[in-house]
Amino acid sequence: MESKCGFQMNHNISIWTSPNLTTGSWSYAGNAIDVSDRPAGVVFRPHLVYNPNTKLYVLIWNYMRWNLPSLYAVAIAEKPDGPFQLVNPALNVSRGGGGDFDILVDDDGTGYIVYSQNYYMSVEQLTPDFYYSTGKSYMFQEYFVEAPVFLKKNNIYYVLFGWCCCYCMQGSGVLVHTSNNPMGPYTLQADGDLACVSTSDVKSTSSNGLPTPSQGCEFHNANTTSVARSQQNYIIKVTNSSGYTTYVWTGDRWQQAPDGIKGHEPQFWTPLNFDENGRIEKMKWIDEFVLDV
């Protein structure tokens, strides 16, 4: 059925707000930009950041056009709830087009994009207004990867991504790369994947979906799956009134909506645990956790 397909040309980029992330606290603020005011395409992974250089909010998303390269669009607004104005329909990343991505704004106001293209991952530095790439680039070695997250903690830069998992029910892994410089070089965390485990160790879920062969955790081992049955989506930084920050990992649980509709598919959330050296510990399934906001 068309209504269950994730590839639609009329996606909204919707804005929701919440004071504390709790159920029932979310309010719909509107659409960031009208469909008629953005480039035509299937929209993926919008990211909103604040640019301290221009004092503007910058919204970047990637969009797919049939039989054409995927591109990144850039829009700006004076407030986080918009309205947003398109300023660049095709961010000029050096590898041409791109897929999943994330944006990091460093403490000095410099912006960076990490993005996948042709199954490889790269980091590039943005211009001060975040509208364009400077062309400065670093490329990771792993092949067949997507869904990156870019963050900084205690002066360590982290880039996390996993094996390609196109709406795959079995979920994907999480590879952790660290550096003392946002442009690398990066080192792969030595103990390997955070999320892929033996299929027999995974909490069973009821689903009408089917695993996607040779994708996600199955890319390297057909007998593994994600401990969270998820593909990495984003990491939310939540800082409480005492100044303590919790890094909440979120993942998409593809094909696991009871009604089969893509927009109803659930997520898995879990706090990440860091040791004293900055190493991220293995992920585990948890039914619930308490978040101090």
- Condensed to tens digits (0 to 9), the pLDDT of residues 224-239 reads 999 999 999 999 999 9
Whether the CB-CB separation of 115 and 122 falls below 8 Å is answered with: yes
Q: For the segment 160-218, what is each residue's pLDDT rounded down to a tens digit? A: 999 999 889 999 999 999 999 999 999 999 988 999 999 888 766 656 678 889 999 99
- Residue with tokens 């990992």, as numbered in its chain: 249
CATH number for region 140-293 = 2.115.10.20
- Arithmetic mean of pLDDT over the chain: 93
Closest by alpha carbon to 283, among 262, 269, 265?
269
SS3 state of residue 199: helix
- The residues spanned by each domain of the chain are 140-293
Predicted confidence at residue 2, as pLDDT, reads 46
Q: For the segment 98-138, what is each residue's pLDDT rounded down to a tens digit? A: 899 999 999 999 999 999 999 999 999 999 999 999 999 99
Alpha-carbon torsion, ordered 89, 95, 100, 104, to 10 deg = -80
Closest by alpha carbon to 289, among 228, 243, 231, 230?
228
- Distance between CA atoms of 148 and 155, rounded to whole angstroms? 19
What one-character-per-residue DSSP string does 72-128 give? EEEEEESSTT---EEEESS---TTSS-SSEEEEE-TTS-EEEEEEETTEEEEEEEPT
- Residue 248 above 50 pLDDT? yes
- Distance between CA atoms of 183 and 239, rounded to whole angstroms? 26
Cα–chain center distance at 153: 17
Predicted confidence at residue 293, as pLDDT, reads 81
SS3 state of residue 276: coil
What length is written for the chain? 293
Burial grade of 255 (CB within 10 A; 0-12, 13-18, 19 or more): buried
Give the H/E segment covering residue 146: strand 145-153
SS3 state of residue 19: coil
- Residue 94 above 90 pLDDT? yes
